[in-house]
Structure 1
């Protein structure tokens, strides 16, 4: 009798899928981060201006350069070498930012003041270039998914900024 009671308790604790209502599903995971790397400032762009006109962006390959087009080299920095800064954020279907962009990685040989200026330049670029003009298909594919945009700046090559 005791054994029967123990078995009935175990069966009652099983999820419905284990009782023949369907296969067990693995736990849900976080969405994969969509990553892009862009050398800034972009060639052919004046820097700091949002791209206007033309067709809406339809691919990830075109999205990351369009978001990086607003990046400007900050003024007032001493000369420094290669800098990499990654900004993580998400977009809505209409191309606007969800929440606040965050810095997830930075490799800057500059001092604390220079690092703060470079981080602000990167966050400002995302703010200035959004909402991005994207197609409904791309908007549906990326809505709510984390995007990681890595800005690579080679510095002024000894000329100072």
Structure 2
């Protein structure tokens, strides 16, 4: 991204975007295009995975879902003690207000890691803490209006020490 201050995040991770949020944004965009008399095209995919950039996140407000997910993922780091495991995944579900703040309490809907109950608790706590640290997230009024109150599923994927990608 160009311009603005950046925040450095050393952990490489991928974030899978929620199909519900992407489908909603696509419907929102389609309605806007239809109102403008432009042709509509079907979605190529309702699923998207983005790589949180290592170089940092631009300080300007997110205007699209593709800009939003890396900003939300930027605060997550692999918890101490789990960094040596080969693959860790966790999905949190939550909703945002128009101003980018969280509505209610985020919920963990899925986790996969090679750890005991204590490890799962650490992973859950670190994920919920990351969402708290990254919110309110800076979003434009248009994106805020499009996603306010809609469920967002944010999946954090850590590939392990080798970071072999998704």
**Global fold match (TM > 0.5):** yes
TM-score (norm 2): 0.65
Aligned residues: CA RMSD: 2.3
Deviation, 1:121, is: 1.4
Q: Paired residues, what number?
A: 120
Question: Gapped runs of 5+ residues in structure 2?
Answer: 1-18, 23-47
| Structure 2 SS opposite 1:81 | coil
* Maintained 8 Å contact 1:38/1:150: no
| Larger Rg computed on CA atoms | 1
Q: Which residue of structure 2 aligns with residue 34 of structure 1?
A: 21
| Structure 2 SS opposite 1:33 | helix
Q: Deviations over 1:33-88 (max 9, x none)?
A: 32664556x5224xxxxx573x2110001101100000112113472121111100
Deviation, 1:97, is: 0.2
Moved over 4 A (4+): 35-40
Matched, 1:64 2:53: no
Matched, 1:74 2:74: no
Matched, 1:148 2:148: no
Q: Which residue of structure 1 aligns with residue 124 of structure 2?
A: 119
* Maintained 8 Å contact 2:93/2:151: yes
Deviates more, 1:92-101 or 1:147-156: 147-156
| Structure 1 SS opposite 2:153 | strand
Alpha-carbon distance in structure 2 between the residues aligned to 1:78 and 1:129: 21
TM-score (norm 1): 0.66
2:55 to 44, 47, 54: 44
Alpha-carbon distance in structure 2 between the residues aligned to 1:117 and 1:109: 13
